[in-house]
Amino acid sequence: MIVRSLDEVNGTDRDVEHGNWRSRRVILAKEGVGFSFHETVLYAGTETSMWYANHIELVHCIEGEAELTNDETGEKHIITPGTLYLLNGHEKHTVRPKTDFRVLCVFNPPVTGREVHDENGVYPLIVEEPAEGDAPVA
């Protein structure tokens, strides 16, 4: 069983800040559970274009408001607390927070925490074995 608070993640290598956002990576690939889980805040007034070509991402808004654009179709959605979106088709997308936008994110395959968006907004696929003592995923 893993029990971990956001306070335990703060200030560690799991607490990653970029100009547009801060992501606290609570569960990573090394935990060996088949997904990763993050709490992320995208800052008001920013614009972030992403494309998870190697991952499926579920994003659940718990605070704030943002405009989500599917860059492939031009379709726009307003995302508010209680709304989620699932990038199950590896869609290129852009998020424009109107306020600080706090979301809970699940990635499959799990991220290691070392990924950095490349020039296309893509995270590379980095495979990591579970940490010693962690049970492998069945």
CB atoms within 10 A of CB 89: 9
Strand partners, 68: 77, 95
Q: Are 125 and 108 in contact (CB under 8 A)?
A: no
Q: Which residues of 2-23 are buried (b: 16+ CB within 10 A; e: fewer)?
A: eeeeeeebeeeebebeeeebbb
pLDDT of residue 133: 55
How distant, in Å, are the alpha carbons of 6, 121, 123, 127 from that of 130? 21, 26, 20, 10
pLDDT of residue 105: 97
Nearest 10 degrees: Cα torsion 138, 23, 18, 10: -110
pLDDT of residue 136: 45
Whose structure tokens read 């606290």? 24
In this prediction, the residues of the chain whose per-residue pLDDT falls under 50 are 136-138
Tokens representing 10? 């703060």
